Each structure stands twice: as structure tokens, then as C-alpha cells.
Chain A
């Protein structure tokens, strides 16, 4: 896996997305798959950018590789302990009036990726993602 580490700010988003989609393209993934994964990265990284470092600046490290027909991503931050996956899925059958604004990002991530797992390890938050490309 190769690593890209950048400041936890929205301006880093494009570079993280290109880092991963570059690997996907070289592995022959379809443009639609690349766009889905871009969205997944936006959902997870914005959560880290907004919530991981309430008292100042920090960094996000993204490790990524394609092996045995699967995309593997690991996202690490050293911010406050925070499992963003730990919330209930939204009810997607409600009407415009009933639906709360927000809460869809993590749901989209779970629907697109094959595996999404959180781990608190050595004072870091780690997200493990897997997507089969076959």
C-alpha cells in the first residue's frame, strides 16, 4: 500500500481523491467505480476534517492499494476518539417533511463499499475499507 498524508482541511480533498482514483484507473476500474469511491472518500474525510481535531490542526494519512482484485484503503487520524460508523441508518422511506437534514453520508459509504470497519489503535482512529473490483 502507498501512503499520502496531508493536513486535515477541505483543500486536501482533491489530492486524496486523485491519489485513490489514480490507482483505480491504473487497475482498469470503470469511471463509475472511480466516482463512487470519490464520494466515499468525501463522506469519510469531511467527517474527520470537521470533527477529529476540535482544538487545532491535524493530519490525515491515507494508505491505498489494489491487490487480488480488491481496492483496500486505510484512513488514519490522531484526533479525538470518534467512531463515525457508530450511528443508526437513516429511514430512507420518509417524506420530505419527515426526513431530517443530514445523516446520509455514512449510509452511502456502507452501501457502496464491501467492508467498512473502525478501529481505535495506538491513540489513532483507523478506518479500513474494502471494495471488490471484480
Chain B
């Protein structure tokens, strides 16, 4: 898994690529933690380059979202496709979170 981060206005856009599995998933939570430690509270997570996610990935995302909620922060998602979209739909994450087609769409709602 690879995470590329860029600042867009007040939001931190995270481009997540590759595989979020039992081994790599904790890296997502750690990355979000490192951003919040520097003061970031608004995140747009672009999963367009993510090819694979398991429940370990969902766990890492939910743990991050709970922490952000406690900080009055925000986490929005975009770019879901393929099996990642399926897993978001089945698990209810697609309705629990705000999901947008593109990062541009999400940034308008931050």
C-alpha cells in the first residue's frame, strides 16, 4: 500500500494505492494519526488506486473515523471502484460515510 498526501485548501487529500490487507492496513490509521498530530482534521480519502481491501482495512478506516469524530474532524471518501466498492457496499461503509465520485466533488463538501 502507498499513501500520497496533498493539501487542498483546508483538507488533506490522501491518495491510497495498492492493497489494504491484514499486514498493511494499520499503516492507514498510523498515517491519519500522524496528520492529526500536525493539526489536520479534514480528510478526503481517494481510493481510486486501491485494488484490494479486507476487513482489516475497514477496521483501520473505522478506527481513524472514530478518532476524527472525537476531534470534530471529517473524513470523506471518493474514487471507490471494483471490489473496494463492493466491500464498502456490503459492510454498510458506503452509507455510513460520505462517499463521492471524485476528489473534486468531495472537496466541495469539506
Indicate if the CB atoms of A108 and B23 lie closer than 8 Å: no
Residues from chain B with a CB closer than 8 A to the CB of A101 are 59, 62-63, 66
Residues from chain A with a CB closer than 8 A to the CB of B91 are 92, 104, 107-108
Indicate if the CB atoms of A39 and B53 lie closer than 8 Å: yes
Indicate if the CB atoms of B56 and A32 lie closer than 8 Å: no
Indicate if the CB atoms of B83 and A36 lie closer than 8 Å: yes
Residues from chain A with a CB closer than 8 A to the CB of B87 are 39, 108
Please provide the chain A residues from 95 to 110 with a CB less than 8 Å away from any CB of chain B in the complex: 95-97, 99, 101-102, 104-105, 107-108
B51 at the interface (CB under 8 A from A): yes
Given A38-B52, A99-B62, A108-B91, A94:B83 Cβ within 8 A: no
Chain A 28-39 interface mask (CB, 8 Å, partner B; 1/0): 000010011011
Interface bin, chain A? 20 to 34
Q: Chain B interface secondary structure, helix, strand, loop or mixed? A: helix
Q: State which of B23, B53, B90, B96 has its C-beta within 8 Å of the C-beta of A99.
A: B96
Q: List 19 A-B contacts (CB under 8 A).
A: A13-B22, A35-B82, A36-B83, A36-B86, A39-B52, A39-B87, A42-B54, A42-B56, A43-B54, A43-B55, A46-B22, A92-B91, A92-B92, A99-B62, A101-B59, A101-B62, A104-B55, A104-B91, A112-B90
| Shortest beta-carbon contacts, A-B, top 5 | A92-B92, A105-B55, A104-B55, A35-B83, A42-B54
A interface, CB within 8 angstroms of B: 10, 13, 32, 35-36, 38-39, 42-43, 46, 92-97, 99, 101-102, 104-105, 107-108, 111-112
B interface, CB within 8 angstroms of A: 21-23, 51-56, 58-59, 62-63, 65-66, 69, 82-83, 86-87, 90-92, 95-97
